[in-house]
Amino acid sequence: MTLTQEHTRTPGHDPDATASMAARDLESHGFFLAPLLQPGFDVLDAGCGPGTITNDIAERVFPGRVTGLDISPGHLERARRLSQGREIVNASFIHGSAYGIPFQDSSFDLVFSHALLEQLLEPQRVLREFHRVTRPGGFAAVCSPDWDRFEMAPCPGAVTEAISAYRRLHDDNGGCTQAGALLGGWMADAGFSPISTGVWTERCNSPHRIAGFIASQLEEAGSHGHAGTLRTWASHPGAEFLQTWRYVVTIKLGEE
Ligand X SMILES: C[S@@+](CC[C@H](N)C(=O)[O-])C[C@H]1O[C@@H](n2cnc3c(N)ncnc32)[C@H](O)[C@@H]1O
Binding-site ranges for ligand X (CB under 6 A):
8, 10-11, 21, 24, 46-49, 69-72, 75, 97-99, 114-116, 119
How far, in Å, CA of 72 to CA of 144, rounded? 19
Cα–Cα distances in angstroms (integers) from residue 181 to residues 21, 83, 101, 226, in the given order: 21, 33, 25, 26
* Residue burial 38-73, b: 16+ Cβ < 10 Å; e: rest: eeebbbbbbbbbbbbbbbbbbebbbebbbbbbbbbe
Cα–Cα distances in angstroms (integers) from residue 49 to residues 76, 102, 165, 225, 253, in the given order: 7, 17, 26, 30, 29
How far, in Å, CA of 81 to CA of 75, rounded? 10
CB of 190 to ligand X, least distance (A): 16
**C-beta of residue 42 within 8 angstroms of C-beta of residue 135:** no
How far, in Å, CA of 11 to CA of 77, rounded? 17
Q: Which is nearer to ligand X, 101 or 229 (CB)?
A: 101
Q: Which is nearer to ligand X, 70 or 109 (CB)?
A: 70
CB of 238 to ligand X, least distance (A): 27
CB of 74 to ligand X, least distance (A): 9
Q: Which is nearer to ligand X, 120 or 227 (CB)?
A: 120
CB of 225 to ligand X, least distance (A): 26
CB of 118 to ligand X, least distance (A): 8
Q: Which is nearer to ligand X, 17 or 229 (CB)?
A: 17
Pairing of strands 108-114, 134-145: parallel
CB of 19 to ligand X, least distance (A): 11
Q: Which is nearer to ligand X, 51 or 207 (CB)?
A: 51
Cα–Cα distances in angstroms (integers) from residue 55 to residues 86, 89, 186, 252, in the given order: 8, 10, 27, 24
- Report the residue number whose CB is nearest to ligand X: 49
Q: Which is nearer to ligand X, 48 or 249 (CB)?
A: 48
